[in-house]
Amino acid sequence: MRTTALLLLALAAVTSAVTYHGYKVVSVTPRTTAEAQVLQKAVQLLQLQQWTHPHRLGVPVDVLVPPSLVYVFLSGLQAKHIPVQVKITDVQALIEEQVATRTPSTSLPRAFDHTQYHTLDEIYSILDGVEADYNSLVSSYTAATTYEGRPIRVLKVSSEESDTKPVIWIDCGIHAREWISSAVCQYILDQLTSGYGSNSDVTALLDTYDFHIMPVTNPDGYEFTWSDDRLWRKNRFPSGGALNCHGIDPNRNFDSDFGGPGTSDQPCSDIYHGTAAFSEKESQAVRDSVQALGSRVKIFFTLHAYSQLWMTPYGYTYDLPDNYDEQYRVSKVGVDALIAVHGTEFIYGNIADVIYMAAGGSTDWAYDAAGIQYAFALELRDQGSYGFLLPPEQIVPTGEETLAGIVAAINAV
């Protein structure tokens, strides 16, 4: 009886907030520049939200379409003979289905559970439990406190007390709605902690490197995706504007061509860059933590979703970094190892060419300002069948392939 009541409360929390009943995710594949322009004009005119962006012809672009605009959007594209496909027929139904599969609990978990997505309180409770269970291996620190007062936590996994080994940095969940990102960070933490001493590969890895892992870089936004809007992207800082908007995109807030291409100065935009570089606690948390580690940081990974991409600098320019050939070589090794696990196809290359131009990102900052010679941004599963709503049964396979790719890249360096 109690389990049923908890499940109903969870469903009520979702349905009482922003809802997406009848919303569809439509995949459009422009084949010519003219078709791409038609799509862009339609998106702008109808004020639609793009889940992915056109980066080259022949690649599908996913667009979220409300029920009132489905007919006009689809009929307009079909009249121009532009290929379209409905990938998700009812976004809210998919959201509610995922909530319904959660196993309610009367207490916060203290151990990893990769069968479902977790609330922020659950994640932090799990991190507490891991730190207690593996106290000789794991310690934690607070990188910053958010606008709404939540800690941005980092777990350090190290086989030694001394801070002398090179460091692998991994952050997840800088965009709130990308739940699979934070789930994969938890999976990686689980494999590192449970595998040390029992798995020779993990043991060798931790005897060589320390790991600093930030599982939820944007806790205010992540909490908001559970309480109010499952598809929220930004943080929750009151950004103002005529509509009293909230939120700044933390991954447009770094000092890497701040305010450049792929950003917006409109507070209501999903890619609003904020008033100044590092104005936000989330970008400050990454910056301050990485800078405190100094030259020990050898590889920087930031995990996003979705599109199945492994990317290197730069995002703010089509120019390539001086060591691009080396970063490209390591990317290939990582992607080959990732694909070998489950056959999940990934594309690799520099951000601007592989996905789109985007200034103010953490990967470019890590390479340019922090001097980290290997800086990678990964877009995890999938390619739009579920998009930001990847089912929980894909957490483990996504974690397996991502970790395999990361370990191979580390070894290649």
**pLDDT attached to residue 14:** 44
pLDDT of 242 above 80? no
pLDDT in tens, 86-135: 999 999 999 999 888 888 778 999 999 999 999 999 999 999 999 999 99
**pLDDT attached to residue 124:** 98
Residue written as tokens 């007919």? 71
pLDDT in tens, 285-322: 999 999 999 999 999 999 999 999 999 999 999 999 99
**pLDDT attached to residue 16:** 42
pLDDT of 5 above 70? no
Return the number of other C-beta atoms located less than 10 Å from residue 311's C-beta. 28
Residue with the larger pLDDT of the pair 4 and 394: 394
pLDDT in tens, 15-39: 448 999 999 999 999 999 999 999 9
**pLDDT attached to residue 12:** 43
User: CA torsion sign, 86 to 92 to 93 to 94?
Assistant: positive
**pLDDT attached to residue 13:** 44
pLDDT of 268 above 90? yes
The H helix count followed by the E strand count for the chain is 13, 14
pLDDT of 83 above 60? yes
The dihedral region occupied by 174, where left means phi > 0, alpha psi between -120 and 50, and beta the remainder, is: alpha
CA-based R_g, the chain, Å? 21
pLDDT of 336 above 80? yes
- Residues known to be catalytic: 379
Q: What is the mean pLDDT of the chain?
A: 94
This prediction has a pTM of 0.94
| CATH (one of 3.30.70.1060, 3.40.50.300, 3.30.70.340, 1.10.246.90) for 2-100 | 3.30.70.340
**pLDDT attached to residue 105:** 77
pLDDT interval class at 408 (50, 70, 90)? very high
**pLDDT attached to residue 143:** 98
**pLDDT attached to residue 17:** 85
Q: Where are the domains of the chain?
A: 2-100, 120-225+275-412
DSSP for 66-80, written as a single string: -HHHHHHHHHHHHHT
Residues paired with residue 374 on neighbouring β-strands, in sequence order: 299
Q: Using an 8 Å Cβ cutoff, are 30 and 55 in contact?
A: no
Tokens coding 313: 């600098």
**pLDDT attached to residue 370:** 98
pLDDT in tens, 173-231: 999 999 999 999 999 999 999 999 999 999 999 999 999 999 999 999 999 999 999 99
**pLDDT attached to residue 53:** 84
**pLDDT attached to residue 299:** 98
pLDDT interval class at 11 (50, 70, 90)? very low
**pLDDT attached to residue 243:** 77
pLDDT in tens, 133-172: 999 999 999 999 999 999 999 999 999 988 999 999 999 9
pLDDT of 56 above 70? yes
pLDDT in tens, 359-401: 999 999 999 999 999 999 999 999 999 999 999 999 999 999 9
**pLDDT attached to residue 196:** 97
**pLDDT attached to residue 251:** 98
CATH number of 120-225+275-412: 3.40.630.10
Task: Give the number of residues written for the chain.
Answer: 413
pLDDT of 337 above 90? yes
